[in-house]
Structures are given as C-alpha cells and as structure tokens.
Amino acid sequence: MSDANPYSAPGAALEIGHDDTYSPSIISFQGRIGRMRYLAYSIGVSLVMMIAMMVVMPMLGASMAMVGGGGPEGMSMIGLVFIGIFYIATIVFSVMFAKRRLNDLNRSGWWFLLFLVPVVNLLMAIYLIFFPGTQGSNNFGPEPAANSVGVLILGWSLPVLFVLGIVAAIAIPQFAGMPQ
C-alpha cells in the first residue's frame, strides 16, 4: 500500500495568473492605462490636433485665395469638412482613452456612455482622473508598466498650467493698479 494520504491537498501551484505588466501603446482599444497616462495621452492628442488645425486651415485659406473664383462659401464648406474630420478623430481618441481608463478601474468600456448624461459626465471625469486603478491584473489584462519621464511631464503639464492660470488671474489684477 501507498503511504500517501488520499485526503491531502494537491501539490500543484494554485496561482491563477501572473502579475506581469505590459507597455501600452497610444493607439489601441485594448488594455489598460493609468491616471497619468490618461491625462498625458489626452493632452498629447489635443495638442497634435490643434497644431494640425493651425497648419491645415491657413493652407486651405491660402489655396482657396489662389484659385480663381474661390469665394468664401467654398472655403467655408471645405473648412467645415476638415473641422468635421478633426472633430470625429477627437471623439474616437476620447472614447479610446476613456475605455482603457475604465478598464484600468475594472469597469466595462460601456460606462463611457455615462458621459452623455449631464452632471453625471462631470462625476465620470472626476472618477477617471482621481480614482486609482486596480492593482495587479484584473478582468481586462495585466497592469500597465511604470510611466516614462515623457508621460509624467506631459501628464503634469495640465494641472500645473491650471494652477498657474488661477494664480495669474488673481495676481495680475492686483498688480494692474500699482504705480510704476
């Protein structure tokens, strides 16, 4: 007979998965991103879109002025098409980043639809920016890797500019009345 106890626990490891990390890409609907990446990616894409608009619109106006018979109505129609394209791209990136941030909070991307409800959208923005993500792996994949220096700089730029703007809004009127 065998000396092994038939009622003992099995000797296999009971780990479900590994707590690996992955390096998220900017353009993807899969995976998770943390608070700082959410801010940095949102700010970065907004800056790129604004710069693209600042480049495309003057070139479009100059090209319409050079073409004979190109009146303001032609410019406005083509300009509206380009603005529409940039607007749709901004919406797609916003949905992509919010979905991945919600995945980091172990929530479905469908929660993004709450942004369409007035007042709730403000609460959702606060939730995405201030609440920490799930530690380790969750239902939507492994934890994202640590933030790079570029992500940290870009992510902190908006809050710092916000605070500096408030300080400037308070300080400039105070110094405006001072004698020189």
> How far apart, in whole angstroms, are the C-alpha atoms of residue 49 and residue 144?
26
Exposed (0-12), middle (13-18) or buried (19+): which is 100, by Cβ within 10 Å?
A: buried
H-only helix segments in the chain = 35-66, 72-104, 120-130, 149-176
Residue 14 belongs to a domain: no
145 part of a folded domain? yes
- 143 pLDDT more than 70: yes
Task: Look at the chain and report how many structural domains it folds into.
Answer: 1
151: in domain = yes
27, part of any domain: no
Q: What is the average pLDDT value for the chain, to the nearest integer?
A: 84
Lowest mean pLDDT among 1-5, 78-82, 156-160: 1-5
> pLDDT at residue 70 above 70?
no
- 44: containing domain: 33-165
Q: What is the pLDDT of residue 79?
A: 76
Q: Check pLDDT > 70 for residue 13.
A: no
Whether residue 61 is contained in a domain is answered as yes
Beta bridge partners of 29: none
pLDDT in tens, 40-69: 999 999 999 999 888 888 877 766 666 655
Residue listed under structure tokens 């607007």: 87
Asked if residue 4 is part of any domain, the answer here is: no
Query: Does residue 19 have a pLDDT over 60?
Result: no
Residue 179 domain flag: no
8 lies in some domain: no
Q: Let me know if 94 is exposed, middle or buried by CB neighbors in 10 A (0-12, 13-18, 19+).
A: middle
> What is the pTM assigned to this prediction?
0.74
